[in-house]
Structure 1
C-alpha cells in the first residue's frame, strides 16, 4: 500500500533536489504543510519524521524542520575531459581483476564495488518468490528455458518498459545472465574484432573487460557530470574514425551518475541515426532514480532508430540471481542466436522468481520504499567525505543510483591510495580503472549502498588519513 505520507515525503525530496528548499533552510511548519497539501497534521508529521529518519532533515527545538547541510557538498561542475583521443586497443585489465579479488577478502570494507549491501535489497521477498516457484512450478524449473527466455518474465518486462514510454512486444525481449552478458551480446551482434566503438568517459570498468575480450578498439568521449556525454565531441569522433557503435549509460551513469535529459537524448539519437551508428544503452540503474518519475529510455524516445537496450535486476533485486534483458531491435534474431551459443539459457528458477515479483507488484513497492533510502545513503556519504577529506576534494551529485565519483587533490595517485587503503581494510575503485588510457589518476569511485555504522565511519576516516 502506498501511504499518503510516503507520497508527501517523495514530493518533498523532489523539491529539495530541485532547489526549492536549500541546505539549512526551514521547511513549512506542520500545520502549514497540512493546509498546503490538503492532508492531516498526522500525515505531515509522518512525512517529516520519515525524512528525518532518512537523514534529509534536522529538527530544532521549538523551531521546526530544516534541510540538512549535505547539499553543501563541493561538486564537480566541469567536464573531466574536453577532447576525444583516437581509437585505442584495450589491454591491462589485469589490475582491475587483481583489485576486485583483493577487495573480496573477508573483513574488507567494500566501498569500491557497485554492489548493494544486503540490507538495501528485498531479500525476504526474493526468498518467498523462489519458494512459491519451487512449490508451484517445480517441473518447469527443472527444464531449460531456451532463448528468448521465460514468457512470463518477458511479458512483465515489456509491461514495465511500456510504463517508461517504451512500447514493445514480449517477443522483442531476450533474457540474459545479467547486464554484462547483454552488453557482450549487443557488441557481438554489431561489431567484429578490430572494429572501433565510442564509449562515454569515464565508463564502468566491466565494459573495458568486454571490449578487451572481443578485441575491439575504443574512442573515449568525455561526459559532463550533470548533462552527460558530449554530443559535439562524439560528432567530431564520428567524422574522424570508423565507429560502429556507441555505448553509454544515459540514466544515472556509472561512475559519474548523470541522467541525460530527453532533449539531450534525442540530439544524441539523431546524430547516430544520421551516421548509421548503433546506440547501445545500458539501463541497469534506470529504476533507481531518487525522484518519482522514471527517466525515459532512448529506445522509447525513438522506436525506429538502431538502438539496443540492456538492463538487469542485479542492482535492485539480487546481484546473485543474474537476471538481465536485452532489446535487440533489428538485431533481435542475431542476439537470440548468440545467446544460445554463448550460454544456452539463463537459469529457469531466477527468471520465474523475478516474474513473480513483477506480477505481484512487490517489485514496484520495493522501488517506492528504497528510493529515499538510496538518496539518503548518497547524501550521507557526500556529507562525510566533505567533512573528513581535504578541502580540494570534489564529487558528483547524482540524482539516482548509489555511487559517487570523487575528485581528489591533484597530487594523489588513486591506484597507490587503493593499495594502501586495502592494507587498512578498505576497498575503493581507483579512477584509472574507468578509462582505457589511464585517465582519472586522482579520481575514485565510492559505493554508498552500505549500512551507516561505526565501522563505515571509521573506514572513511582511515581513508582520509591516507590523503
Structure 2
C-alpha cells in the first residue's frame, strides 16, 4: 500500500471510530504534514482520494471537513449474471465513435492514448531502414504465424515474467482486436454462450454480435473485478464455450485482478473446460514497480489464449498484435489466412528493428510516468469542477477514469450536450447490453493537460449541474 493510501485508510478508520464526526474540520494539509511526517504531495493526494470517495468535503478558504453520513438509498446493483441471446450494440457504438472523430473535438471518449507519447521518430526511422533492406521474399516470410524474430522477441518478454511460451505458439495479428476475434472464432460456433464482464470492452460485444454468439454478462466491481461466485453460477447453469476477460487495467473500469483472484479464475474455468480469451492490451501501463502477471501465468492446461499488442503502449498505427495461442495456434493461422491473410510485413520488420535497439523498456518507463501524471491532473480538475454528487472511480493503472453520475441522470445525454461544446466522452451504454450503466461514463486522461483540457472539464462540470437542475 502506498503512503497516501495508508494515510487515507488511517483517516477513514478514525472517522468510523468517531474520532472525527460529520461536520468536524480535519487538520489542514500543513498540520497533517507536520504530524504525519509525510510530504505535502502525499498528504494532498490522500485528502483528494477521500474527497473523491465522498468521505470528506473541501470548503474554499476554510479547509477539509468530514462529510455528512449518506442517507439516500443506493440504486440496486446490476444483476450478477445477465443473459442475452442476441447482442445488438454495434450501431450505438458506431454512432458514438463517429461523432467523436471531428478534429475539433477533444477526444476524451477515445480508447487510444495520446499518440504524442510514442517514439514516432525512432519508429519511422526503423520503418525507413527496413524499407531499404526488405527483399521480395519478406511478404512470404511474414505470413502467419508472422515474423520469426518478432515472435522470438515476444516470447522472451513472456520468459522475463516466468511464463513459458514457445515462439511457435505465437501468432502475429493485425492488432489485438484481430487476435481476440480470431481466438473467439477458433473456439466457438454461432449460437454458443460466451461470458463477458459487465461492463466490458465494447469490442467484445461487437465480436459477439458479428459471430452471432450469445452473451452472459457477469457483474464486475470497479475495485475487485469480476464476481467469481456469479461466474461459477453462470458456468454451472449455461453450456459456456469461452470467457473473454480483461485481467489487468480493465476497460472501462480500470481494475487489475489480484494474483489470488487470477489463480481462482483460471482454476474455475479449467474445472468447467472453458477457454479463457485474455485481453491484456494494457498490461504494460501499470503504475508502480512490478508488472502484474496475466492470468495465463496460472494456466497449466493450455486453456488460455493470451492476446495483446503494441497499439496501446508503443504505436497504434502499426496495428501489430499477437495471441499466445498454444494448441489453438494452427486453427488461428487458418482463420487469419481466410480473412486478413497476415499483418503488415513492413510494420513487423520495423518493430523487430526498433526492439533490437533496447529502447523499448526506457520508453515504457517514461510512458507510465507520464500517464500517471496526466491522470492525476485530470482527476484534480474533476475534483475542482465537478459537482460533489459525481463519484470518480480511480485506479492506479492505465489512463481511464470511470465516473458515476447521480442515478437519475443519463451519461448519453451528457455526451450529446458535451459534443455541442466539442468534447467527447464514452457513455456507459457502450459497455453493456443492459441499462445498468446509464449514469456512468469513461474518460480518457492520457492527453497533454493544458488550459484547453482544463476548460473542457470545467464545461463538463457546468453541464452536469444544468442536468441536476
Counterpart of 2:212? 215
Matched, 1:356 2:356: no
Counterpart of 1:19? 6
Whether the 8 Å contact between 2:78 and 2:436 is mirrored in structure 1 is: no
Cα displacement string for residues 157-215 of structure 1 (whole angstroms, at most 9, x for unaligned residues) = 00111112221111110000111101100110111111110101110112211111001
Does the residue aligned with 1:162 lie in a helix, a strand or coil? helix
Whether the 8 Å contact between 1:76 and 1:395 is mirrored in structure 2 is: no
Cα displacement string for residues 109-156 of structure 1 (whole angstroms, at most 9, x for unaligned residues) = 110011111222222221222122223335555656210000111000
Counterpart of 2:52? 74
Matched, 1:392 2:393: no
Equivalenced residue count is: 424
Counterpart of 2:194? 197
Counterpart of 1:336? 333
Counterpart of 2:20? none
Counterpart of 1:48? none
Deviation at 1:20, TM superposition (A): 6.6
Deviation at 1:21, TM superposition (A): 8.6
Deviation at 1:361, TM superposition (A): 1.4
Give the stretch that moved more between structures: 148-157 or 369-378: 369-378
Counterpart of 2:65? none
Where do 5+ consecutive residues of structure 1 fail to align?
Answer: 1-13, 34-56, 60-64
Whether the 8 Å contact between 2:187 and 2:241 is mirrored in structure 1 is: yes
Counterpart of 1:172? 169
Counterpart of 2:18? none
Counterpart of 1:53? none
2-structure distance, mates of 1:307, 1:331: 10
2-structure distance, mates of 1:168, 1:76: 45
2-structure distance, mates of 1:415, 1:205: 15
Equivalent position to 2:445, from 426, 448, 463: 448
Whether the 8 Å contact between 2:89 and 2:206 is mirrored in structure 1 is: no
Counterpart of 1:277? 274
1-structure distance, mates of 2:8, 2:82: 41
Cα displacement string for residues 199-243 of structure 1 (whole angstroms, at most 9, x for unaligned residues) = 011101122111110011101111111221111000011111111
Matched, 1:345 2:345: no
Answer 1 or 2: higher relative contact order, Cα 8 Å, separation at least 6.
1
- Alignment RMSD (CA, Å): 2.5
Deviation at 1:28, TM superposition (A): 12
Counterpart of 2:178? 181
Does the residue aligned with 2:244 lie in a helix, a strand or coil? strand
2-structure distance, mates of 1:343, 1:261: 36
Counterpart of 1:153? 150
Does the residue aligned with 2:307 lie in a helix, a strand or coil? strand
Counterpart of 1:229? 226
Where do 5+ consecutive residues of structure 2 fail to align?
Answer: 12-28, 56-73, 465-469
Matched, 1:404 2:382: no
With normalisation by structure 1, the TM-score equals 0.85
Does the residue aligned with 1:293 lie in a helix, a strand or coil? coil
1:123/1:76 CA distance change after superposition, 3 Å: farther
With normalisation by structure 2, the TM-score equals 0.85
Cα displacement string for residues 76-114 of structure 1 (whole angstroms, at most 9, x for unaligned residues) = 999953511223311032121011111101200110011
Does the residue aligned with 2:196 lie in a helix, a strand or coil? strand
1:330/1:457 CA distance change after superposition, 3 Å: same
Does the residue aligned with 2:6 lie in a helix, a strand or coil? coil
1:70/1:162 CA distance change after superposition, 3 Å: farther
Equivalent position to 1:253, from 227, 250, 253: 250
1:139/1:21 CA distance change after superposition, 3 Å: farther
2-structure distance, mates of 1:123, 1:294: 24
Counterpart of 2:128? 131
1:275-314 counterparts in 2 under 5 A? 275-314=272-311
Deviation at 1:377, TM superposition (A): 1.4
1:70/1:143 CA distance change after superposition, 3 Å: farther
2-structure distance, mates of 1:82, 1:262: 26
1-structure distance, mates of 2:34, 2:368: 21
1-structure distance, mates of 2:148, 2:326: 18
1:267/1:66 CA distance change after superposition, 3 Å: closer
Does the residue aligned with 2:403 lie in a helix, a strand or coil? strand
2-structure distance, mates of 1:376, 1:27: 25
